[in-house]
Amino acid sequence: MVNELMDMLLNFSGQANHCHCFLHIVNLVAKTLLKLFDVQKRMQDLCLMMQKESISNLLQELNWRW
């Protein structure tokens, strides 16, 4: 992979930048980037939970008044 990067990137100095755990680092970076997109899902889940709780509270209040 280092050799391929040397061919593709003019400023890449090859073996000086070689890292034995490169794939692990790529995996960690990818996971971190994917977590950025999970925030929206968690916010949607939180909003849905709050709506359900609000509806439940409203129904309990209406039931109490009847």
Domain count, the chain: 1
- The single-letter DSSP state of residue 1 is -
What pLDDT was estimated at residue 60? Answer: 80
Q: How many CA atoms lie within 13 A of 56 on its CB side?
A: 6
Instruction: Tell me the whole-structure pTM to 2 decimals.
Output: 0.34
pLDDT over 60 (residue 66) = no
Backbone CA torsion sign across 36, 38, 42, 43: positive
What pLDDT was estimated at residue 37? Answer: 77
Q: Which domain holds residue 31?
A: 2-65
Q: How confident is the model at residue 64 (pLDDT cuts 50, 70, 90)?
A: low
What is the tens place of the pLDDT at every residue in 1-51?
Answer: 778 888 888 787 777 766 677 788 888 999 888 887 776 777 777 788 888
